[in-house]
A and B are shown apart, each in its own frame.
Chain A
Amino acid sequence: MATITPALDTHDHSHDHAHGHHEQTFIQKYVFSTDHKVIGIQFLITTILMLMVGGALALAVRWQLAFPWESMPLIGRVFGLFHGEGGQISPEFYTMLFTMHASVMIFLVIIPVLAGAFGNFLIPLQIGADDMAFPVLNMLSYWFMWPAIFCFGVSFVASGPTAGPGNGWTSYPVLSDLAAAAPSSGAAQTWWLFGLTLVGVSSMMGSVNYMTTIINMRAPGMTLFRMPLTIWSMFITAILQAFALPVLTAAGFMLVFDRLSELLPTTIHSVFFVPAGIIVNNAAPTVGGGQPLLWQHLFWFYSHPAVYIMLLPAMGMVSDMLACMSRKPVFGYKPMVYSMAAIAGLGFIVWGHHMFTSGMNPALGMTFMTSTMMIALPSAIKVFNWIGTIWDGNIQFNAVFLNCAAFVALFIVGGLSGIFMAAVPVDIYFHDTYFIVAHFHYVLFGATLFGVFAGIQFWFPKMFGRMMNDKVAKVHFVLTFIGMNGTFFPMHLLGIAGMPRRYADPYLHGYLEHLLPMNQFMTISAIIMGFAQFLLLGNFFYSIFRGQKAGRNPWGANGLEWSAPSPPGHGNFDVPPVCYRGPYEYSSPEAEALGQDFILQTTAPPAGVQRVAVHH
């Protein structure tokens, strides 16, 4: 408990800050940098590039579904794979394609772009700190991504160029456990598991850092309930991550031990996930008493919260951006915070809804169904509040806003389709069909990625001191939006029609034959969507060097980050920020008194008003 009355100098003393440091070499400044902003941007650029890799894999999957067994572009002729087959891919190659698409997108794009890129860049800036609590740990969290990327990269070639990890990103044993069960995965699967573990290490370093930073390093006056929702979401995500991740890491090691049993000394042979008497690929029957469902429990105990790790930060960021672009306070700030906390809390007890058809005890199914239904509630509250935020606002129809509005519109679809799958009897039909593929792409692409597109655009001036081109961004938005819906909306219908996922050739089954034209339409949409991302790339890299110069606060936003120079120097703030109010006081009478529709959190109230009372 302290009440402070900061005396604000009017003159600039950020230089005093900077003078305390040595001149840095290029390597220190841009490669092994401990500056959270550089690390954030490193994460951002890495993940955008990985997005293109994941997208290419997705297009390969789509190609096979639209033109099954026809010569695949690039794969056959340019890379010279499957030459004897006339460029027709093999089914195990297809399993590799969808496995690696999911792995790259989830572990190398969505998770690091939210927590790694935006978390790093925004947390210190938005809470008014000069850097993260543990700058070196922060640097390591980025540089642990590269061994992970390396491991994933090796897994493309470790089992030969025409094979790779082919067990799905969920990697269910016994398939992923016994080398003979999915022989094409071979060493690649083990490398994949190492990659997964390293991504986990990277995330864990980030989480610890974020929690510490947010708890300890807020600027004077930045109370918990004056934090922007972005920070709240990062905070909650970090907690989720820190508590869920160890389980996955442990499970991953168990699986690695199972897989490597033949290489390891007999004393550490393990069969955690393999029951006795399993005969695969003509090998001798297995011995041991493992339980394959154990993996599913452990995996989803992490991976379900991970779904929220892949979503919550985007929710927070979108709340910030919607408020700014509507020139209105966030509608229901505290309900927003509480609902995020509720999502996180409930997120820990819903993992079983991935296992409704797995043969687990039906009583458990009922419990998980109820908790899963209830997790829709905070999501619904958030949607209503977002609409409330836009309502009667002075909307700025720029690309940032459009992407945010798309986030809300598409999240509604993803949320509502989730209800079908939360209901066990209905899920029994929809489990592992394209309905679920539609659902999670609406959440992860429709919501999260559109939030990320908006976020890139919105914070770009803070990152590089220049604006991105709004017109190009709008074209990118429209093409992506249309392509995205054209690709993923029909998947709902495919799911209802009973098309199972992960089929290299669904048309083998008579009742799915007539869905080929629809799949071709989806593939064309996907190609449009995929190529539209070059607009983003082009706009991004062009604007870094040639974009219009931006001032400190180009959007007229309220957060602390907008009081810093663009881009902020080392140590972030030229004036140590003091926070006087919440982050969303757009169009407030106080702002109007200044003749504007925003008021920075650092703007001191006029004399006579009690200056600041900070209660810790």
Chain B
Amino acid sequence: MENSKAFSLKNLGLGCLLTAAVSGCSEFDSSFAYSAKTESLIAEAQDGTDAAPGVKPTLDSRFGNPQQLKAWLKLPVEWGGASARVEAVASTDTEIRIRFTPEEGKSLPTEAGSVQFITGEGAGQTVAITKWDAQTGEAVLASLPEKSPASGDLCAIDGGAALQSGRVLYMRHCSHCHGTAGDGKGPTAEYLNPKPRDYRHGVFKFTSTNDQSKVSREDLLRVLKYGIPGTYMPSFLLMKDEELHAIVEYVRFLAMRGEYERKLVNELASDYSEKSVSDRLKDEKRSDIVQELNEFLKDEFPATADSLGDELGEVWTAADTEDAKIIPSVPRVPDSPESRRRGRALYLSSTLNCADCHGIDGAGNGPQTLAFEKNPVSGELYKEAGLHDEWDNLNQPRNLQRGIFRGGRRPIDLFCRIHAGIKGSRMPSFKNTPHEDIWHIVNYLLSLQFESEPGAIAAAPAAAAEAAPAAAGD
């Protein structure tokens, strides 16, 4: 599938950009769809003016398209490939041999398909490697680069390879639900309940990170491996670890792309959406508005776009640090009827008020499920009664009696759900609740599948009804 890997490098003062082209034998190309909000801008804001690029070109120059991904090195994505330096160049008329040395603390890959020069004269060129000796680091290049590299130049061997393999895997396993752009709008998506995640908000529900943090790689990996019970997100347990990692990186890439797009659009939406422009036309001229936009795009937008990238890089990097991780300050309180009773009392207490949504018995039928909610963005009431999530999908509170916990059934999973809340949903964070109390609640929740009131059943599993009939056997 990946017969040509053309990398180009653009140093736009934005940090380095690696381009990984993935061209397959497919006859026509897929593309990253832009968000509805981007499409709601006036054309000049979307595409840019003569003077400066708008949202779409800015986005494309940093992220590329599925066939030609770009690596914006501001972002903490493991792009793949090995960085190395040119040690010696020996060229004849017909071939050019380069010896590479790995960057300190790194090693050279065992196989190599191409090299991309990042600094020096030859910067920006990508050349295919025909022969590769991993031992000596010597490569025979397929063709002579236009500008010869010199020793000491920084280069990337198979730059972006991991991201590309992530893309290939994502398109095979994930895209038909989550969409090519990670917008949760693949062809299968319309049939699913709940709807597949739209990554473009940069928000993931089930994380082990605290309420203000992004999702960690480990969290995404966990979801991939074990699926989300009670939804159509299946378990991909049997995929190889490196495949799973590649998918995680690609998903993070898509999430960052989407989030970045949202942020960029927010800079422009209030003044330059079709709607606000048509409002403004009442007392302004269109050419003035475009002129104003033009100046904004030229003078302020590039710097803003840059700093938004920096911010994004920071928060996504932080998510994988120990600081972001939720670590209970006390170990789990041993499960006991007393603890469960305490948990139930907290559950019903007016400070936590779990029952308001989850219902008095935890059946997910609290009074809030019958109320009409207001859409926080548009300010209008939702059509269906009940709680909605950030993606405007109806997202009713969990029925805790079923024993199905989407984010996992381990005590720590439930602890995290309570501590950090469920991001993007109406489940709030209870991080100020003492950890011991959270554990009591966890104990209570885990018991709900088996007893409605703590202590209602004795520990006598033999009494459990054998409800389902056995198959005809003999």
User: Taking beta carbons and an 8 Å cutoff, which residues of A are in contact with B?
Assistant: 68-71, 73, 76-77, 82, 84-88, 90-93, 160, 162-163, 180, 183-184, 277, 281-283, 359-362, 505
B residues 167-208 near A (Cβ < 8 Å) are: 171-172, 175-176, 179-181, 185-188, 190-194
Partner of B180, one of A68, A86, A180, A360: A86
Beyond A86-B29, A86-B30, A93-B187, whether A360 also contacts B176 by CB under 8 A is no
Does the CB pair A283–B193 fall under 8 Å?
yes
Does the CB pair B188–A91 fall under 8 Å?
yes
B232 sits at the interface (CB 8 A): yes
Beyond A92-B191, A283-B193, whether A85 also contacts B175 by CB under 8 A is yes
Does the CB pair A82–B187 fall under 8 Å?
yes
- Kindly list chain A residues whose C-beta atoms are within 8 Å of the C-beta of B30: 84-88
Q: How far is the CB of A543 from chain B (nearest CB, A)?
A: 38
B463 sits at the interface (CB 8 A): no
B25 sits at the interface (CB 8 A): yes
Q: How far is the CB of A178 from chain B (nearest CB, A)?
A: 12
- Kindly list chain B residues whose C-beta atoms are within 8 Å of the C-beta of A76: 27-28
Q: How far is the CB of A75 from chain B (nearest CB, A)?
A: 11
- Kindly list chain B residues whose C-beta atoms are within 8 Å of the C-beta of A282: 193-194, 230-231
- Kindly list chain B residues whose C-beta atoms are within 8 Å of the C-beta of A183: 191-193
Q: How far is the CB of B22 from chain A (nearest CB, A)?
A: 11
A509: nearest residue on chain B (CB-CB)? B238
Q: Which 9 pairs between the two chains have the least Cβ-Cβ distance? A: A86-B30, A183-B191, A90-B187, A71-B26, A361-B472, A90-B176, A282-B193, A184-B191, A281-B193
Task: Give CA–CA (A81, B217) in the complex, Å.
Answer: 34
Beyond A87-B27, A281-B193, whether A505 also contacts B472 by CB under 8 A is no
Beyond A91-B176, A282-B194, whether A70 also contacts B24 by CB under 8 A is yes
Q: How far is the CB of B189 from chain A (nearest CB, A)?
A: 9
Q: How far is the CB of A539 from chain B (nearest CB, A)?
A: 33
Interface of B is mostly: loop
A-B contact pairs, 21 of them (CB 8 A): A70-B24, A71-B28, A82-B187, A84-B33, A84-B179, A84-B181, A85-B30, A86-B31, A87-B26, A87-B28, A87-B30, A88-B26, A88-B30, A90-B176, A162-B187, A163-B191, A183-B192, A281-B191, A282-B194, A282-B231, A360-B472
Task: Give CA–CA (A348, B95) in the complex, Å.
Answer: 76
B33: nearest residue on chain A (CB-CB)? A84
- Kindly list chain A residues whose C-beta atoms are within 8 Å of the C-beta of B176: 85, 88, 90-91
Task: Give CA–CA (A82, B30) in the complex, Å.
Answer: 9
- Kindly list chain A residues whose C-beta atoms are within 8 Å of the C-beta of B407: none
Interface of A is mostly: loop
Task: Give CA–CA (A93, B176) in the complex, Å.
Answer: 11
Task: Give CA–CA (A162, B33) in the complex, Å.
Answer: 19
B residues 454-474 near A (Cβ < 8 Å) are: 468, 471-474
Does the CB pair B28–A86 fall under 8 Å?
yes
Q: How far is the CB of A600 from chain B (nearest CB, A)?
A: 59
Task: Give CA–CA (A367, B185) in the complex, Å.
Answer: 50
A77: nearest residue on chain B (CB-CB)? B28
A160: nearest residue on chain B (CB-CB)? B190
- Kindly list chain B residues whose C-beta atoms are within 8 Å of the C-beta of A87: 26-28, 30
Does the CB pair B193–A180 fall under 8 Å?
yes
Q: How far is the CB of A180 from chain B (nearest CB, A)?
A: 7
A67: nearest residue on chain B (CB-CB)? B25
Task: Give CA–CA (A85, B24) in the complex, Å.
Answer: 13
Beyond A71-B27, A359-B471, A359-B472, whether A84 also contacts B180 by CB under 8 A is yes
How many residues of B are in contact with the other chain, CB < 8 A?
34
Partner of A90, one of B24, B186, B231, B232: B186
Choose among A77, A84, A92, A282 the residue with the greatest number of B CB atoms under 10 Å from its CB: A84
Task: Give CA–CA (A283, B232) in the complex, Å.
Answer: 12
Choose among B25, B176, B232 the residue with the greatest number of A CB atoms under 10 Å from its CB: B176
B residues 1-54 near A (Cβ < 8 Å) are: 24-31, 33
Beyond A281-B192, A282-B230, whether A84 also contacts B31 by CB under 8 A is yes
Number of A-B contacts (CB under 8 A): 84
Does the CB pair A90–B188 fall under 8 Å?
yes
- Kindly list chain B residues whose C-beta atoms are within 8 Å of the C-beta of A85: 30, 171, 175-176, 180, 186-187
Task: Give CA–CA (A362, B473) in the complex, Å.
Answer: 7
Q: How far is the CB of A263 from chain B (nearest CB, A)?
A: 19
- Kindly list chain B residues whose C-beta atoms are within 8 Å of the C-beta of A361: 472
- Kindly list chain B residues whose C-beta atoms are within 8 Å of the C-beta of A360: 472
Q: How far is the CB of A220 from chain B (nearest CB, A)?
A: 57
Choose among B30, B33, B171 the residue with the greatest number of A CB atoms under 10 Å from its CB: B30
Does the CB pair A86–B26 fall under 8 Å?
yes
Q: How far is the CB of A181 from chain B (nearest CB, A)?
A: 10
Partner of A69, one of B29, B171, B194, B230: B171
Task: Give CA–CA (A70, B27) in the complex, Å.
Answer: 9
Partner of B172, one of A69, A180, A184, A281: A69
Q: How far is the CB of A297 from chain B (nearest CB, A)?
A: 13
- Kindly list chain A residues whose C-beta atoms are within 8 Å of the C-beta of B186: 84-85, 90
A361: nearest residue on chain B (CB-CB)? B472
Q: How far is the CB of B247 from chain A (nearest CB, A)?
A: 14
Partner of B171, one of A88, A163, A184: A88
- Kindly list chain A residues whose C-beta atoms are within 8 Å of the C-beta of B188: 90-92, 184
Does the CB pair A92–B232 fall under 8 Å?
no
- Kindly list chain A residues whose C-beta atoms are within 8 Å of the C-beta of B232: 281
Task: Give CA–CA (A587, B66) in the complex, Å.
Answer: 73
Task: Give CA–CA (A150, B255) in the complex, Å.
Answer: 44
- Kindly list chain B residues whose C-beta atoms are within 8 Å of the C-beta of A88: 26, 30, 171, 175-176
Choose among B25, B187, B194, B471 the residue with the greatest number of A CB atoms under 10 Å from its CB: B187
User: Given A88-B176, A92-B187, A359-B472, list of 20 further CB < 8 A pairs?
Assistant: A73-B27, A84-B179, A84-B186, A85-B30, A85-B175, A85-B180, A86-B26, A88-B26, A88-B171, A90-B186, A91-B188, A93-B187, A162-B187, A184-B188, A277-B468, A281-B191, A282-B231, A361-B472, A362-B474, A505-B172
- Kindly list chain A residues whose C-beta atoms are within 8 Å of the C-beta of B25: 70
Q: How far is the CB of A524 from chain B (nearest CB, A)?
A: 16
Q: How far is the CB of B75 from chain A (nearest CB, A)?
A: 23
Does the CB pair B27–A77 fall under 8 Å?
yes
- Kindly list chain A residues whose C-beta atoms are within 8 Å of the C-beta of B31: 84, 86
- Kindly list chain B residues whose C-beta atoms are within 8 Å of the C-beta of A359: 471-472
A183: nearest residue on chain B (CB-CB)? B191
Q: How far is the CB of B263 from chain A (nearest CB, A)?
A: 23
Does the CB pair A70–B26 fall under 8 Å?
yes
- Kindly list chain B residues whose C-beta atoms are within 8 Å of the C-beta of A73: 27
Task: Give CA–CA (A85, B179) in the complex, Å.
Answer: 8
Task: Give CA–CA (A508, B188) in the complex, Å.
Answer: 19
Q: How far is the CB of A159 from chain B (nearest CB, A)?
A: 9
B173: nearest residue on chain A (CB-CB)? A508
Q: How far is the CB of B81 from chain A (nearest CB, A)?
A: 24
Task: Give CA–CA (A91, B474) in the complex, Å.
Answer: 39
Choose among A77, A183, A359, A362 the residue with the greatest number of B CB atoms under 10 Å from its CB: A183
A282: nearest residue on chain B (CB-CB)? B193
Q: How far is the CB of A275 from chain B (nearest CB, A)?
A: 9
Task: Give CA–CA (A88, B147) in the complex, Å.
Answer: 39
Q: How far is the CB of A155 from chain B (nearest CB, A)?
A: 16
B185: nearest residue on chain A (CB-CB)? A84
Q: How far is the CB of B279 from chain A (nearest CB, A)?
A: 32
A360: nearest residue on chain B (CB-CB)? B472
Task: Give CA–CA (A403, B172) in the complex, Å.
Answer: 42
B32: nearest residue on chain A (CB-CB)? A84
- Kindly list chain B residues whose C-beta atoms are within 8 Å of the C-beta of A90: 176, 186-188
- Kindly list chain B residues whose C-beta atoms are within 8 Å of the C-beta of A180: 193
Q: How far is the CB of B346 from chain A (nearest CB, A)?
A: 28
B residues 240-281 near A (Cβ < 8 Å) are: none
B27: nearest residue on chain A (CB-CB)? A71
Task: Give CA–CA (A68, B171) in the complex, Å.
Answer: 11
Q: How far is the CB of B227 from chain A (nearest CB, A)?
A: 14
Task: Give CA–CA (A180, B194) in the complex, Å.
Answer: 12
Task: Give CA–CA (A91, B187) in the complex, Å.
Answer: 9
